[in-house]
Chain A
Amino acid sequence: MPLLSKVDAHPHVFIVQRLNLVFDEKGLAGIKVRWKMDDMFASMIAEDHDRNRNGTLEPDEVQSVKENAFIFIKEFNFFTFIKIGSRPFQVKFIRDFNATLKNGRLVYEFFIPCHVSAGDAYKKVSVSTYDPSYYTAIFFAKHNPVSLTTADAFELKTAIREDPDTKIYFDMIHPWTLFMEFRKKA
């Protein structure tokens, strides 16, 4: 039975994500999140919110998606668990939510403001994205999972790997996490 219990997989929604790290003159300004939802979830959302059935989402339909098929995850930190150093940063709000539907493919995009000033020493920030109940599985995209915006003034190291300090889904999964370190260029 322990063997059986290890063969365990239960997500119903699958997301492939790309993160864009946005910098300003002081340091990290926030993270732009791009989630490509799985096709079955996409068809469910299209069915409910693409009211004129034209295969795309107009602004009022995007608002409907936000209010009925997105904002509820606010309760779960928008599935984004950030640590600045070792200190958790609560994601209480997001900006610029958008949902696009094209050829049956649904993409959610939103911006998480998270200001971390850069100094002479490296600052460490980690970003784990997961659904605590594991109803949703979130994977980093195979190609270009992380990109940078206006980061020229900073030295930056990034790595994506499992976070051994975080365990979800019956302690069986270490979520994939983006680890970054940055400082001002000398």
Chain B
Amino acid sequence: MRGIGRILATGIAILFVAAACGGATTTTTASATASASPSKPKFELASFMYSLQTKGKLRIGTQEDNFPFSVKNPATSKWEGFDVEIGRELAKAIFGTGGDVESNIEWVAVTSATRIPSLTDNKVDVIIKTFTINEDRKKQIDFSDLYFKTGQRILVKSSNTTIKEAADLAGKNVCAQKGSTSEQNVTKATNGAAKLLLLDSYPACLLALQQGQADAVSTDETILFGLVKQDPTTKIVGKYFSEEPYGIGVKKDAGNDRNGFVPFLNTWLAGIIKDGTWAKLYEKHITPVAGDKKQNPNG
């Protein structure tokens, strides 16, 4: 109980300080906007982007160990990866390219399970973390348009020549994370003929694969990239047998507190795809593991 009390007390203290700082910035920004540097984008006063700009911080939620999308480099403690750079582009679009973009970003580490709560509890402004857009999630939060498209594929040992497509999984031991959509997709693709080994994590699945206790591991291609990096004696096979479109997650616009944010994100995304920034990021982060090049998320 004492620990909880202390956490609560710290939380309240932080709130007070935050409120005090918030008040201070609002008063100073009145003059700041008057003499705003020309490189800063201009937003409507009522928009969420304007309030971010005046606060000077964008809180981006992403995962610390989600290669090749977001990794906090343990040696340099710098954030790297495709999702991370998308986040930096977003910060540039809000705060302008004048200053150091990193100073406008507050990185918040999240996991798959904490993505939605951190948005609804207003702990982050955006979630950029291999976040699949689907109907169930749309009931709780808003998504931008998709900025990345992947799907479910199959990981097998390099020596395996019998499993080539999802249909070949029938009668085989297939490992997937318990309670994931991946598990349901395997069941669908094989009409329930695959024998599912359901573990709590993908590294455990990789172990089972290495020992021959599982014949294949199946989930989003992006996660499989990470596993292949850990164990180069495995390979990814087959076409996509599910579609996983990734979007940027934001809190629902309740009482105008996210005014104009999703339309802004969509325009900005279309912009960085059109001007080739997206293709450059893809080539830098995804091409080394996937081997292909893309001009846009659908290409």
Binding partners A and B? no
